[in-house]
C-alpha cells in the first residue's frame, strides 16, 4: 500500500508539473503585443465596420474604434494594416497582424483561426438599381439574365458559391468596385453585408434592398487571432467585445457611422 501510494504521488506530481510547464510554455498574444508596444490589426474595406476616410486615408468604422479602444486598454499603439478579404486569413496566419477585424465566423475559417465572440450579425442582402431592375426577391435574381457582383473572398462570395445560382457571378476586389459595377450596369445586383448595404441605400435613393427570406447567409461577425495562444488572451478579447455590446459603445458607434434601419429600403 505504501509503494502504491508513492507511485500515485509520483504520477500526480508528474501530471501537475507537466501542466504547469505546458501553461508556462504557452504563447501569450497579449504579452507579444505589449512587448512590441503596438496592436496590429488587419483591415479590409467593409463599411461601416472598417473603411478609409476619403479625405485623410485613415481607417475608420465600428471595428476600428473597437480595436483602437482595446489598444488603449492594453496601453499600446493601435496600428492598422491594409489587407484584402481574399488574403485576410493568410495574412493573420503569416503574422502580418495580431488581429483580423470584422471577420465572419465561418466553419472553415474556425479550423485555422480562433474567433472572438460576435459583436454583430451579418446577413447577406442584395442591392439593385430600382431605375434599372424590377427584381424584388431572390427568385427574381436567381436567373441567367442577372449578373450578381460579390467581393472576392468574402463570406458573401463563399455563401453564394456554395448555394449556387443561375446568375452570372462577378467577383471584384472591394465594395467600391461592386458599387461602381452596379451603377454602371455591369452587374444587376450586389450581394453583401446588410450593415453596409443599408448605409449605402440610405445615402442613395436609387438603391433598393432585397433581403432573402429565409436568409441565404446569416453569420456572426467578430475578430480572429492566430491559433495556439492561451485562453487568457481570447478571454480578454471576448470581454472587450462584450463590453462594447453590453454598455452602449456599439450602439453609439452604429449611430456615429450612420447605420440605419434597413427595412424601409426594401419597399422602394
**Region at 239 (left for phi over 0; alpha for psi -120 to 50; beta for the rest):** alpha
pLDDT at 144 over 60: yes
Per-residue pLDDT of 195-213, as tens digits, reads 999 999 999 999 999 999 9
pLDDT given at position 26: 72
pLDDT given at position 25: 60
**Region at 28 (left for phi over 0; alpha for psi -120 to 50; beta for the rest):** beta
Nearest Cα neighbor of 124 from 144, 102, 150, 90 is: 150
What global pTM score does this model have?
Answer: 0.81
- Domain spans of the chain, in order of start: 29-120+221-259, 123-210
The reply to whether domains 29-120+221-259 and 123-210 share a CATH topology is: yes
> Phi, psi at residue 60, to the nearest 5°?
-140, 165
Superfamily per CATH, domain 29-120+221-259:
Periplasmic binding protein-like II (3.40.190.10)
Averaged confidence pLDDT in the chain: 91
**123-210: CATH number:** 3.40.190.10
pLDDT at 10 over 60: no
pLDDT given at position 244: 98
Kindly state the percentage of the chain with pLDDT values over 70. 91
- Angle 231-246/62-74 helices, nearest 10 degrees? 120
Per-residue pLDDT of 222-248, as tens digits, reads 999 999 999 999 999 999 999 999 999
Contact (Cβ atoms closer than 8 angstroms) between residue 43 and residue 60: no
pLDDT given at position 16: 38
> Phi, psi at residue 14, to the nearest 5°?
-65, -45
Per-residue pLDDT of 98-132, as tens digits, reads 999 999 999 999 999 999 999 999 999 999 999 99
Amino acid at each position: 500500500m505504501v509503494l502504491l501510494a508513492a507511485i500515485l504521488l509520483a504520477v500526480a506530481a508528474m501530471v501537475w508539473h507537466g501542466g504547469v510547464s505546458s501553461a508556462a510554455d504557452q504563447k501569450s498574444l497579449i504579452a507579444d503585443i505589449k512587448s512590441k508596444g503596438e496592436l496590429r490589426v488587419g483591415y479590409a474595406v467593409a463599411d461601416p465596420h472598417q473603411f478609409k476616410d476619403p479625405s485623410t486615408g485613415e481607417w475608420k468604422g465600428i471595428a476600428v474604434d473597437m480595436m483602437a479602444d482595446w489598444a488603449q486598454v492594453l496601453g499600446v499603439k493601435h496600428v492598422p494594416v491594409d489587407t484584402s478579404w481574399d488574403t485576410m486569413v493568410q495574412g493573420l496566419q503569416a503574422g502580418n497582424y495580431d488581429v483580423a477585424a470584422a471577420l465572419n465566423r465561418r466553419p472553415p475559417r474556425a479550423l485555422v483561426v480562433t474567433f472572438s465572440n460576435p459583436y454583430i450579425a451579418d446577413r447577406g442582402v442584395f442591392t439593385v438599381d430600382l431605375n434599372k431592375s424590377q427584381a424584388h426577391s431572390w427568385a427574381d435574381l436567381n436567373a441567367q439574365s442577372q449578373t450578381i457582383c460579390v467581393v472576392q473572398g468574402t463570406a458573401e462570395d463563399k455563401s453564394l458559391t456554395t448555394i449556387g445560382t443561375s446568375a452570372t457571378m462577378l467577383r471584384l476586389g472591394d465594395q467600391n468596385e461592386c458599387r461602381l459595377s452596379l451603377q454602371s450596369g455591369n452587374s444587376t445586383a450586389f450581394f453583401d453585408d446588410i450593415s453596409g448595404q443599408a448605409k449605402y441605400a440610405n445615402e442613395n435613393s436609387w438603391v433598393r434592398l432585397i433581403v432573402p427570406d429565409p436568409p441565404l447567409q446569416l453569420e456572426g461577425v467578430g475578430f480572429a487571432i492566430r491559433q495556439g495562444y492561451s485562453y487568457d488572451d481570447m478571454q480578454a478579447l471576448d470581454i472587450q467585445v462584450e463590453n462594447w455590446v453590453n454598455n452602449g459603445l456599439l450602439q453609439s458607434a452604429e449611430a456615429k457611422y450612420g447605420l440605419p434601419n434597413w427595412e424601409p429600403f426594401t419597399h422602394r
